[in-house]
Amino acid sequence: MKKKPSLIVPVEQITWEGLDIPLSLDVDWFARWLHDQPGLEFSLEKPLTGTVHLERHEGNILVRGGLQGELIFTCSRCLETFAGPLTASFDLLLKRGQAQALDQEVELSAGELDEDFFSGDELELNVLLREQILLALPLKTLCREECRGLCRQCGKNLNQESCSCPAPSFDSSFAALKKLRND
């Protein structure tokens, strides 16, 4: 195994020619994230992989990259866990300074670049990567589009078994018939 590249990059190492950093965000990486942010509603079993390209433009840093892999989600209907794809790609311009200092003009900002800020002598890619993963999460976490969820009355997972709870409304006669047949 190769030694893993650090996600903390000294700003002076970033030149106009650019620097490519291979990414492999593994279970340990995720554990540290979860430690910092215990409310995360997904987990990781296999590493997310990708690359990030860093390039100096005047005092600013261009960050371009992508991540692919799989996250483990909990279905919001049936509460089962499932693996779902995650793809993040990003294109950011980091300006030196704090978030509120927005008065210098930046020629590069035409186009689709998102802007952010950095300060100090080191670029901490962790925070940036965490942010990009959060932005790439699916809006709805369903194990599949047609997930039938849990029965509101007995709590059974209706994807796996049916139950004989009386249906609440219009189809109650059908449910009663079904119950007769099942008994």
Contacts of 37 (CB under 8 A, 6+ apart): 130
Number of neighbouring beta carbons within 10 Å of residue 11: 17
**Site size with Zn ion, rule: CB under 5 A:** 10
Contacts of 87 (CB under 8 A, 6+ apart): 66, 67, 68, 136
Q: Which of residues 2 and 140 has its CB atom nearest to Zn ion in the complex?
A: 140
Half-sphere exposure of 168 (CA within 13 A, CB side): 4
Which residue of 34, 40, 92, 163 would you call a contact of Zn ion, by CB under 5 A?
163
Contacts of 137 (CB under 8 A, 6+ apart): 42, 71, 86
Q: Which of residues 94 and 143 has its CB atom nearest to Zn ion in the complex?
A: 143
Q: Which of residues 111 and 166 has its CB atom nearest to Zn ion in the complex?
A: 166
Which residue of 98, 104, 153, 172 would you call a contact of Zn ion, by CB under 5 A?
153
Stretch of 73-81, 96-104, 110-118, 174-182 contacting Zn ion, by CB under 5 A? 73-81
Angle value at C-alpha 126, between 42 and 67, nearest 5 degrees: 65
Give the shortest CB-180-to-Zn ion separation in angstroms.
16
Q: What CA–CA distance (Å, rounded) separates 119 from 122? A: 8
Give the shortest CB-165-to-Zn ion separation in angstroms.
3
Q: What CA–CA distance (Å, rounded) separates 62 from 56? A: 6
Which residue of 7, 113, 136, 147 would you call a contact of Zn ion, by CB under 5 A?
147
Which residue of 67, 133, 143, 150 would you call a contact of Zn ion, by CB under 5 A?
143
Q: Does 77 bind Zn ion (CB under 5 A)?
A: yes
Q: Does 151 bind Zn ion (CB under 5 A)?
A: yes
Q: Does 88 bind Zn ion (CB under 5 A)?
A: no
Residues near Zn ion, by CB under 5 A: 75, 77-78, 143, 147, 151, 153-154, 163, 165
